[in-house]
Amino acid sequence: MIHPLLKKLESKRNDVYAIKYKNKEFILKIYKNENCRIIEERNLKKLKKHGLNVPKIISSHKNILIMEFINGKTIGEEIYTHTNWVEDLAKWLSKLHNIKYNGKSILKGDCNLKNFIFTKKGIYGIDFEDSFYGDPIHDLGEICFFIIDSTSTLKRESKQRIVEKFIQKYQKYSQKGIDTKKLKRAMERAKEKAKKRRSKKIPLRKESSLVILLQK
């Protein structure tokens, strides 16, 4: 018998639940339509084939997808306590961006820090409905923006150091330099995108557009 294990999980777009079956935990995701399920299932299979840490698909039917449960905490949670995840995230993202088609890299899309789970086995990416091919600067800009904009009690300077470390590690694993001017523009685009998605009751943090390291 399948039954809810935890309360409904946070998701603005779909209905997501943690369930239990034969003493094993899984994630049940119910999409608005079948096409959304097909897109994410296709992306997950592609990334799993390339060796990326993503949830394994257990079953799918119409607008429902059942995946393995990833035991860990999201980076959105971990940023409050430590930064051990920074290098793992840079490594995971560089590996993702190494998957290319017609000269363009596959991108994560929605790079909210809640869409990355930090585990003993490394970073796992979740939520791939918005993946597409393009310039990696898009993903990098979103991640850097969300680090700076996080509600963590860390001071602005500490967040800036995290961003700097993340970019340095990404350059190390991707073996590619990052144009800081392009990165700053990508962060600004991420900020504008976030404004449209968020409620007026949850304002963006003022320091989001003030990243000292990008002004050097």
**Segment 108-136 mean pLDDT:** 96
Residue spans of alpha helices (H) in 50-179: 75-78, 85-97, 137-149, 156-174
Alpha helix locations (H) across the chain?
34-49, 75-78, 85-97, 137-149, 156-174, 180-197
Query: What structural domains does the chain harbor?
Result: 3-68 (3.30.200.20), 73-215 (1.10.510.10)
- Phi and psi at 120, nearest 5°, equal -65, -20
In the numeric block, which tokens belong to residue 22?
């034969």
CB of 79 within 8 A of CB of 146?
no
CA-based angle 194:113:126, to the nearest 5? Answer: 110
Q: Which of 8, 134, 31 is nearest to 111 (CA)?
A: 134
Work out whether strand 104-107 and strand 24-30 pair parallel, antiparallel, or are unpaired. unpaired
What tokens does 93 get? 């993202």
Nearest-angstrom CA–CA distance, 42 and 45: 5
Q: Whole-model pTM? A: 0.88
Look at residue 4 in the predicted model and tell me its pLDDT: 53
100-101 and 15-21 strand pairing: unpaired
User: Tens digit of pLDDT for each residue in 182-203?
Assistant: 999 999 999 999 888 776 554 5
- pLDDT higher at 90 or 23: 90
Bridge partner residues of 122 (DSSP): 119
Q: What is the pLDDT of residues 142-191, one digit of tens each?
A: 999 999 998 878 888 999 999 999 999 999 999 999 999 999 999 999 99
Number of residues that make up the chain: 216
The pLDDT value given to residue 101:
95
> Which residue(s) pair with 161 in the sheet?
none
- Residue 129: how many CB atoms within 10 A of its CB? 16
Give the tokens for residue 146: 């969300």
CB 108 within 8 A of CB 128: yes
